[in-house]
Amino acid sequence: MSSRTAADTRDRIVMAAKAEFAQYGIAGARVDRIAKEARTSKERVYAYFRSKEDLYAFVARQELAVVAAASRMDPTDLPGYAGRIFDFFLSHPEHHRLVAWGRLELGDNAPAPDDPLMAAVREKTEQLRKAQEDGYLDPSWDPFDVLPLVHQIATSWAAQPELAHVAKEQARTPDAAARRAAIVRAVQLVFPATTRDETASR
């Protein structure tokens, strides 16, 4: 097997695993279904990933990087960041399920010190702390509260998909653009954006 073909196989496994985990969770996922969907064998899956749990950890890590790259946290414009998170989840509803399964199935034990999610949180919190020092963000907030609040507001609809059905029937304006605007407005009220240029030139 050429290394190109091997890389393709691995990519197909990861893609199939992502869909399988999002749908069924970790315990409910079946490696033979993943193998079949990826047009390979169960044995090949285990050649790349030692266990189903390892495969989940890989997929979850990769997804974390994807959402971080798509949403680009900017401490001077948290409403804009929230809007990008909203957009990401609107077009990738399976991402939220993938993460939610892990939270439930892996429990809330303290993550390992080298856990990539924790490293990402630490790095972003540090950026927020720096933004407070530089006058871009109200320093009276504990910087540690900022990220969880912004993430929660931004995922209001992704996290409560059952409410989207009621929205169709009840909301004054039922489209996604209206939900997005409400999210951006809420974050703007809590953590107003500071235009870097404005601050720099005044």
How far apart (Å, rounded) are the C-alpha atoms in residues 106 and 147? Answer: 22
Site string for a copy of itself, 135-174 (x = CB under 8 A): ------xxxxx--xx-xxx-xxx-xxxxxxxxx--xxxx-
How far apart (Å, rounded) are the C-alpha atoms in residues 124 and 50? Answer: 31
How far apart (Å, rounded) are the C-alpha atoms in residues 96 and 56? Answer: 14
Tokens 């909301």 sit at which residue?
A: 171
Q: How far is the CB of 200 from a copy of itself (least distance, A)?
A: 26
* Of residues 25 and 80, the one with the C-beta less far from a copy of itself: 25
The vertex-123 CA angle with 120 and 125, nearest 5°, equals 105
| 3-class SS of residue 162 | helix
* Of residues 65 and 189, the one with the C-beta less far from a copy of itself: 189
* Contacting residue, 56, 81, 86, 101, with a copy of itself by CB under 8 A: 101
How far apart (Å, rounded) are the C-alpha atoms in residues 135 and 138? Answer: 7
Residue type for position 76: T
* Of residues 7 and 27, the one with the C-beta less far from a copy of itself: 27
* Of residues 65 and 178, the one with the C-beta less far from a copy of itself: 178
Residues making contact with a copy of itself (CB under 8 A) = 25, 27-28, 93, 97, 100-101, 103-105, 108, 110-111, 117-118, 121-122, 125, 141-145, 148-149, 151-153, 155-157, 159-167, 170-173, 178-179, 182-183, 186, 189-190
